[in-house]
Structure 1
Amino acid sequence: MTSTPCASIQECISPEEWQLRVDLAACYRLVARHGWSDLVFTHISARVPGQEDHFLINPYGLMFEEITASNLLKIDARCNKVLESPYPVNPAGFVIHSAVHEAREDARCVLHTHTRCGVAVSAQKAGLLPLSQQSTFILGSLGYHDYEGVAMHEAEKPRLQTDLGPANHLILRNHGLLTVGGTVADAFMSMYVLESACQIQIAAQTGGELTYVSADIVRDVSNAIRVQTGGLGSAFVWPALLRMLDRSDAGYRS
């Protein structure tokens, strides 16, 4: 771990890393705002641009609404802090994230949640069902990983990597949800849609007979997504989300 004489973190890092810190801190605040946080017990990680073996992650013990660009921890692949910080890091919490980052160079951001509806769907044998438009956006890029207990052991990582494969969404059986993205915005929007699909499924299952979306529609959905966002994907929505945060609390930028 290295200490720095700089007056602030921003002065000691590249503009690209600072922008990533701002986006990641915003993501933590958005996760808190949507009610997806599990007190302090889940994580969102991001690979530092230009430093492929370094990652940003939340200080363990802080609520997601307390995360700022400056207080994010910078760690290596073994979860050692590489910049001095008064906050602790949670090595066990990085096991899943490190497995994904290790296997997927394109996974610049990894977002993991323990939401009630996400865990409920993860406990269902059939998993995510084609019940909604939201679910159709997920089903073409979805994997499942069986529960092996609290994810603390390196031995689980190869199986998790195999189960994720090239997918951008992973349902961790009896545990929760995980999304990956080339940007923080990508990972957030993927989780937004996956969580929405899970909430809709649980709500629909409390009613009458279910109607399923046809397999043909599910197969053709990727083109519809490109049309809806003008080919921009999550970049179409992310600036609006940051403006929303800035109107109520721009503290994440500090």
Structure 2
Amino acid sequence: MRRKLAAGNWKMNGLSAQLAEVEALCAAHPTPGVDILIAPPATLITPMVVTASTHPLAVAGQDCHAAQNGAHTGDISAAMLKDAGASHVILGHSERREDHNESDDDVRAKARAALAAGLKVVICIGETLEEREAANTLDILAGQLAGSLPDVLTGENTVIAYEPIWAIGTGKVPTLGQIGEVHDFIRTKLETRYGEGVARSMRLLYGGSVKPSNASDIFAVSNVDGALVGGASLKAEDFSGIIKALEDAV
């Protein structure tokens, strides 16, 4: 059985004072029935690891460079994330793809570097509103899966997060049928490429305006193994409600 995963992406939010939210979250879920992962800004990775040192909460980076080191001012390598205490890294988020012009090839190269450094990867895919309205969603996602994923990976070190770009931070959510169609499609594509064993062990997350009020319905959808949560992960109370919904769905 795939263990459910509640992942939070803080994006460019959070100062040291916000570690109190992590303390509150850990206190609310001392022995969680699902895996919990938070990706804070790089400045908070080590402090968050220390804050959650007695709790199974895992900490992720939000991006990494494909190179191990070198003249890349402002970038951070997978080895640096690992050294700071992170166990995972989020790659290919739509905001990286759009704001920094990251291609599928870029994401795949970063994923290879992260896996080589011993990090687990959360690889994001998703379509724009224009692509959804043009009925191109599955073709777009198939291309992103083919281009962004390394040839060698496992269900233990890789998570796929489907985040329709038009639903991120907008309050808009695909229908449950649309979410189910995409997640079933992703699972089938993974089976074709990696074999049933790897594909069936890999966790598929949904992301895009997930909140306590809609989490239970989303987690009941076929092949949804958890969520990649943005704004709602910044407050312990909100993220806790999503975690509880996921625990109830187990």
Q: Does TM, scored on the shorter chain, surpass 0.5?
A: no
Tell me the TM-score normalised to structure 2 length. Answer: 0.31
Tell me the TM-score normalised to structure 1 length. Answer: 0.31
Q: Tell me which structure has the larger Cα radius of gyration.
A: 1
